[in-house]
Amino acid sequence: MSDPLKIAVAGLGTVGAGVLKILAGQRALLAQRAGRDVEVVGVSARDRNRDRGVPLDGYAWFDDAVQMARETDAHVVVELIGGSDGIAKDVVEAAIDGGKHVVTANKALLAHHGTALAKRAEKAGVALAYEAAVAGGIPIVKAMREGLAANRLSRVYGILNGTCNYILTTMRETGREFEDVLADAQKLGYAEADPAFDIDGVDAAHKLSILTSLAFGTEVDFSSVHVEGIRHVSPLDIQYADELGYRIKLLGIAGMTDHGIEQRVHPCMVPNDSPIAHVEGVFNAVVADGDYVDTTVYEGRGAGEGPTASAVVADIVDILRGIVLPTFAVPVGTLTAAETAPMGRHFGCYYVRLKVLDNPGVFADIAAILRDHRVSMEAILQRGRAPGEPVNVVLTTHETLEEDMIRTLNEIEALEAVAEPPRMIRIETF
């Protein structure tokens, strides 16, 4: 058996501690599968005395993670600090410049600096591996980079944030309000004390920008992702969705269109009979459409100590086996700048909920605005009558341009009979 592969781990939170547990507990199995042992030669974190549920006595401790990346004789530096800049970026750059392979779970870092870091790693001849950065324990990076290598992909989409999926699932099952369910998610550890990155769609957008690069051979371009969160999804919308045969999911969607590549994260109504509709709770799912495989679906736990640490160790095992692949599936020099499709050119169906005064002529005014902007109505729902009082009216449309839909809603909102801003959710039939 070859000499051990030496590992240094920067960041000992939930995932970092999980990585140490796997490397210790599965040591014999990993050596059997890769033909080489693993040795942890350094660890670093902010608080040396914190109880992490894993013994640290046998590891060299570094207060400075960048120093560790520079000075240890590690072959691989595992970065689990997080954040798009600051020390996480410094650690990764120091490791690469020192000729060390990097394994990271840091989607924010890759979303903002992925192309530059990939270029740096390629020049140094080292791996920049990140299976754990997207969808936790689902091996989607390996699937897209290797398993689907014979395919041109036309679309990749999925549930990329378990916090949002848990909240939407619980709202549907219980009828409770968003804020109430969010508070429970925080108590259970599914949501952070400051949940904005999750519930506003930013976390999913980070992951989608990485998947887009893998799918289409483009430079990572987080700034081109259209991002909406789930704060404004109400139990009423979920109830109407169910009546119409849909479930509401926060999806990240990247696809080729006649106007360029769409990258968008937002709540969607998906048909009840679609595979992704039944992915519930904290689970993630990713769907990739290829020209030879057709549609492939990947589902599993998208976060947590075990699944994410498992994905980190999977990258370490590849390096143990001597596998060093292009970061985004192709040499960096062949990555192209993505031509981004404007969101206004999106062509699809829409759900719209209005609260309007139940007065004569209101529907005629709304219908006239729809006609003027070439928006064709598919169905309309109104429950009960309340003459002179606000009532909820739901309509769904046939496919139309988003820019026409937005103009339509702006004009409808300006009507005197409309009591609150319209709520719009895109319908995805896949």
Q: Which of 6, 100, 107, 207 is catalytic?
A: 207
3-state helix, strand, coil in the chain (%, to 5): 40, 25, 35
99 burial (CB, 10 Å; 0-12 / 13-18 / 19+) is exposed
Q: What is the rounded distance in angstroms from the CA atom of residue 39 to the CA atom of residue 180? A: 46
Pairing of strands 76-79, 101-104: parallel
Tokens of residue 325, six digits: 């692949």
Sorted by sequence, the CB contacts under 8 Å of residue 99 that are 6+ apart come out as: 124, 125, 126
β-strand partners of 313: none
Check if the beta carbon of residue 165 is closer than 8 Å to that of residue 283: yes
At residue 294, φ and ψ (nearest 5 deg) are: 65, -120
142 part of the active site: no
At residue 365, φ and ψ (nearest 5 deg) are: -65, -45
How far from 220 is each of 108, 146, 217, CA to CA, in Å?
11, 19, 9
b/e code 167-202 from CB counts within 10 Å (16+ = b): bbbbbbeeebebeebbeebeeeebbeeebebbbbbb
SS3 call for 106: coil
Check if the beta carbon of residue 414 is closer than 8 Å to that of residue 377: no
Kind plus residue range of the DSSP H or E element containing 211: helix 202-216
Helix ranges, 26-60 (H) = 27-34
User: What residues are labeled active site?
Assistant: 207
